[in-house]
Chains A and B, each alone.
Chain A
Amino acid sequence: MRTLRFLLQKEFRQIFRDPSILRMIFIMPVIQLVLLPLAADYEIKNIRLAIIDHDHSTYSREMSRKITASGYFILNGFGERYSDAMELIEDDKVDLIMEIPAHFERDLVREDKAALLLSVNAINGVRANLGSAYLNTILRDYNKEVREKWIQLPRVNEIPQISIITNNWYNPHMNYKIFMVPGILVVLLTMVGSFMTALNIVKEKEIGTIEQINVTPIKKYEFILGKLIPFWILGMIVLTLGLIIARVAYGIIPLGNVGLIYLFAGCFLLAVLGLGLLVSTYSQTQQQAMLIAFFLLMIFILMSGLYTSIDSMPPWAQIVTYFNPVRYFIEVMRMIVMKGSTLVNILPQLITILFFAVVLNSWAVINYRKRS
C-alpha cells in the first residue's frame, strides 16, 4: 500500500509537469466537442436542387415555388437544358435534378396523371434517400392541393384511406446534435483512456526507467495500479469537462441520472485503460504503441454505432461489435441522456463492460513481465 502511495505521487507529479498531456486533456475535449458536432451534422438540409422546367405553366411554377419555400432545398439551378443541370451534378454543385416535362399541366388536368423525373446524385446514399423522400412528401402535398382544387373532395372518402400519424419521441425537434454529442464524448474518453496509458508506459520502456522499476521489489499489481489510478482520475475529469461543455455549448441536459453516467463511465474507463495497458505490453517503442492503439481504436470507433447503425450491419459484423466495449457505452450514453434510462435498463451493458475490464486488465497483468 505504501509503495502505491509513492507510485501515485510520482505519476501525478509527472503528469502535471508534462505540457503535452495537459494539452490533450483540456484542449482535446474542447475541440472535439465543440467543433466535431458542428461538422458531424447529418441532418438533411441545404439540399441543392436544379429544376428543369419544360412546361413553364402555372402549375409547374407553383410547384417549384412550393419546393423552394419548404426550407429543405436550395435552388442552385433553374433552366432549360438537362445537360446544363448534369454539369452541375458533375461539378458537385447540385444534389438533385427535377425535370418537369412539357405539357405537365395539360396532362395532369386532361389525362388525370402526369409524370415527373428526378435524378439524384446517389454517391452519398443517405442524402439521396432522404433528399428524395422530402421532395416526394412536398410533391404529395402539392398533389393533394391540386386535387382539392379540381374536385370537391367529399367529406367522406370515396375509397378507404389510411391516415398515418407519426409521433417522434425523445427528440421532437429532430436535433442531430443531441444524438452525436454523447457519442463523441464516449470516443473522447476512449482515446484519452487507451492512448495515454499505452504511450505513458511505453515511454518508460523506451527511456529505461521501467528497468529500474523492474529491479526493485515493486509488485506487478502495484505498478499497474499505479498507472491505472491516475489515468482513471484523468478520464473522469475529461468526462466532467465534456458534460459541462455539452451543457453549455449545446444545452444538452441528460434526461436520466448523471450519477449513472459516471458509474458506467468509471467501469468503461477501467476496460479502456486495460486495453491501453495491454497494448503497451506488446509494444517496444512509442511509435509502435501509437500505431497499434490507433489501429484498434479506429476499428472500435467505426464499428461502435456512432456513425452508422449496428442494426444495419451484416450478421458477422454485428457479432464483432459484441466484442467492442465502445459500442456498449455509446448505447448507454445515448439511452441515459436522451431517454432517461435507469440502472435496470442498462444492467446488461454494465455487466458486459465490467467483464471486459476484468479480462483486459488480467490479460495485461499476466503479460507484463518484470523478468524477460
Chain B
Amino acid sequence: MNQFIAFVKKEWYHILRDPRTLFILFGMPIVQIVIFGFALTNEVKNSKFAVLDNAKDEASLIITERIAASNYFDLSANLHSQKEIESIFKEGLVKVVIIFPPKFRETLFRTNAASIQIVTDASDPNTATTLSNYASAILLDYQKEINKGRETPFTINVESGMLYNPQLKGAFNFVPGVMAMVLMLVCTLMTSIAIVREKELGTMEILLVSPLRPILVILAKTVPYLFLSMINIASILLLSYFVLDLPIQGSLLLLVALSILFIITTLSLGLLISSITSSQQTAMLISLMGMFLPTIMLSGFLFPIENMPIPMQVISNLVPAKWYFYIVKALMIKGLGITAIWKETLILTGMTLFLLTLSIRKFNIRLS
C-alpha cells in the first residue's frame, strides 16, 4: 500500500510541476461556466432590425418605436427603398426588415384592414422564426390596443407555464454539459496522454521493474486526475450556485457520488486508449476524435438527440456522457431522486465495469 501511495505522490509532483497545464486544467471549467453562463444564450435579444417606412404616419411611427423599445430588437437603420434591403442583408447588418405600406394608418382605419410585411434573413431559420414571432406579437398588441376592449368573440386564451427554467436561462442546459465535457477532457485525454508519454520517453520500463505490480503503477497514474476532477466538479457546482444562481434541487450527495462514478468511467476510457497506442499524437487523436467529439455531438448537451437521424440516436446510447448528462439534469434541475435515475445509473455502472476490465486486461497482456 505504501508503495502505491509513493507512486501516486510521484504522479502528483509531475502534475504540480507543470503550472501551465495545471492552470488550464483548473481554469477551463471556470472559463466555460463564465462563457456558457453569461455570454452564450439561445435567447434572442437586441437583434438589429431596419424599417422601410413608406407611410411615416402616427401608426407606423408608434409601432416602430414599440419594436425598437422592446428587448428583442434594436433599431439599426431607416431604409428608403426596396433596393436597400438586399444590400443591408448582404452586409449582415440586420436580421429583420419591417415594411409599412404607404398610407398605412389611413388604410387601416378606413377599410379596417391593412398589412405589414416582415422580411427576415432566414440564414438562421430559428432566429428568423423567433424574431418574426416577437414582431408579430408586438403588432398584435398594438392591434388589441386600438381595439380597446372590443374583443373578438370565440377566443381561446392560452396560458403557458415554463417548468424548471421559468426564466428560460440557457445555463440550465449548459452546466451539466460543461461538467461532462470537462471530465472527459481531464480524465480521458490527459490521463491517456500522461501514460503514453512515459511509454514514449522510455521511462515506463523503469517503473515496471519496480516492486509494485505493473497494473497498480498504471492505476497510480490515474489517481491524481481523479482528485483534479473532483476539484473541478466542486468548482463548477460552486460557481453555478453562487454566480449563475443555478440551484441544486436534488440531493448533493447523490450528485457527487454519481459524478465520481462518471469520473471513473472516463478514467477507464483514458486507460483503454493508453493501452492501445504508443505515441502521444495518436493518443490525442483517438481521445479527441473517438471520445471527445462524439461526447459533444451525441450526449444531448449541445444538440438535441431527438432531432438526429435514428442511427445516430442509437449510437448515442453508447456514449457514457449521454447517461451522465441525463442523470445530472434529473438531479440538479428537476430535483428527482434515485428512483428516477436508477436505470441510467445501472447502465453507467455497467459501462464503467466493462471498460475497466477491458483496459486492465489489455494492460496486463501488454505489460507481461
Using CB atoms and an 8 Å cutoff, list the residues of chain A in contact with chain B: 20, 23-24, 27-28, 31-32, 35-36, 38-46, 48, 89-92, 108-109, 112-130, 132-133, 135-136, 139, 142-143, 146-147, 150-151, 156-172, 174-176, 178-179, 199, 203, 282-283, 285-288, 290-292, 294-295, 298-299, 302-303, 307-309, 311-314, 317, 320, 331, 334-335, 338-342, 345
B194 within 8 A of A: yes
Tell whether, in the assembled complex, residue A35 and residue B312 are in contact, meaning their CB atoms are under 8 Å apart: yes
Are B122 and A172 in contact (CB-based, < 8 A)?
yes
Given contacts A117-B159, A147-B154, contact A295 B28 (CB under 8 A): yes
Bound-state Cα–Cα, A120 to B116, Å: 31
Residues in A with CB closer than 8 Å to B142 are 162
Q: What separation, in Å, do the CA atoms of A308 and B170 have in the docked complex? A: 11
Which among A89, A143, A160, A169 has the greatest number of chain B C-beta atoms within 10 A? Answer: A160
- A-B contacts, 24 of them at CB < 8 A, read A31-B293, A41-B307, A90-B340, A116-B159, A119-B163, A123-B172, A125-B168, A133-B133, A135-B158, A139-B156, A147-B152, A156-B111, A160-B146, A162-B115, A163-B115, A164-B135, A170-B123, A171-B128, A287-B280, A299-B31, A309-B124, A311-B46, A311-B95, A314-B38
Of B220-228, B252-260, B328-336, the one with at least 4 CB within 8 A of chain A: B328-336
B366 interfacial contact with A, CB 8 Å:
no
Contact with A along B267-302 (1 / 0, CB 8 A): 000000000000111101100010001000110001
Q: Which of A143, A165, A309 has the most CB of B within 10 A?
A: A309
Bound CA–CA A117/B158 (angstroms) = 6
B92 touching A341 by the CB < 8 A rule? Answer: yes
Q: How many residues of B contact A (CB 8 A)?
A: 113
Name the A residues within 8 Å of B47 (CB-CB).
309, 311-312
Q: Are A122 and B163 in touch, CB under 8 angstroms?
A: yes
B116 engages A164 (CB within 8 Å): yes
Which one of A117, A168, A292, A302 lies within 8 Å of B122 (CB-CB)?
A: A168
Give residues 131-150 of B contacting A (CB, 8 Å). Answer: 132-133, 135-136, 139-140, 142-143, 146-147, 150
Shortest CB distance B229–A (Å): 15
The number of residue pairs between A and B whose CB atoms lie closer than 8 Å in the complex comes to: 327
Task: Decide yes or no whether B126 CB sits under 8 A from chain A.
Answer: yes
Given A286-B281, A309-B44, A309-B124: A291 and B303 interface contact (C-beta under 8 Å): no
Kindly list chain B residues whose C-beta atoms are within 8 Å of the C-beta of A43. Answer: 125-126, 307
Q: Which of B32, B42, B312 contacts A125 (CB 8 A)?
A: B42
Q: Are A128 and B168 in contact (CB under 8 A)?
A: yes
In the complex, are the beta carbons of A136 and B118 less than 8 A apart?
no
B48 CB within 8 Å of chain A: yes
Q: B184-195 interface mask toward A, CB cutoff 8 Å, 1 = contact, 0 = none?
A: 010000100110
Which stretch in B2-10, B17-25, B237-245, B356-364 binds the other chain?
B17-25
Contact B121 A169 (CB under 8 A): yes
A146 in contact with B154 given A24-B285, A119-B161, A169-B121 (CB within 8 Å)? yes
- Verify if B354 is at the interface (C-beta below 8 Å from A): no
Q: Which B residues lie within 8 Å of A128 (CB)?
A: 162, 165, 168
Assembly CA distance A28 to B284 (angstroms): 14
B89 touches A (CB below 8 Å): yes
Flag if B298 contacts A345 (CB, 8 Å).
no
Binding site for A on B (CB under 8 A): 18, 20-21, 24-25, 27-28, 31-32, 35-36, 38-48, 74, 87, 89-92, 95, 108-109, 111-130, 132-133, 135-136, 139-140, 142-143, 146-147, 150-166, 168-170, 172-173, 185, 190, 193-194, 197, 279-282, 284-285, 289, 293, 297-298, 302-304, 306-309, 312, 326, 329-330, 333-334, 336, 340
State whether A341 and B91 are in contact (beta carbons under 8 Å apart), knowing that A122-B166, A124-B304 are contacts in the complex.
yes
Give the residue of B120, B123, B197, B308 whose beta carbon is less than 8 angstroms from that of A41: B308
In the complex, residue of chain B having the shortest beta-carbon distance to the beta carbon of A283: B20
CA distance A42 to B46 in the complex (A): 21
**CB atoms of A312 and B44 under 8 A apart:** yes
CB distance from B246 to the nearest CB of A (A): 11
Interchain CB contact (< 8 A) of B18 among A24, A151, A288, A290: A288
List 16 other contacts, CB 8 Å, given A112-B154, A312-B43: A90-B340, A112-B151, A120-B163, A125-B41, A130-B130, A159-B147, A159-B150, A163-B113, A170-B121, A171-B128, A286-B284, A287-B21, A287-B190, A299-B35, A308-B41, A345-B90
Complex alpha-carbon distance, A312 and B336, angstroms = 32
Determine which of A118, A170, A295, A314 lies in contact with B160 in the assembled complex, contact meaning CB atoms within 8 Å: A118
Closest Cβ–Cβ distance, residue A163 to chain B (whole Å): 5
A125 touches B115 (CB 8 A): no
What is the chain B residue whose CB lies nearest that of A151? B153
Bound-state CA distance A40–B298 (Å) is 9
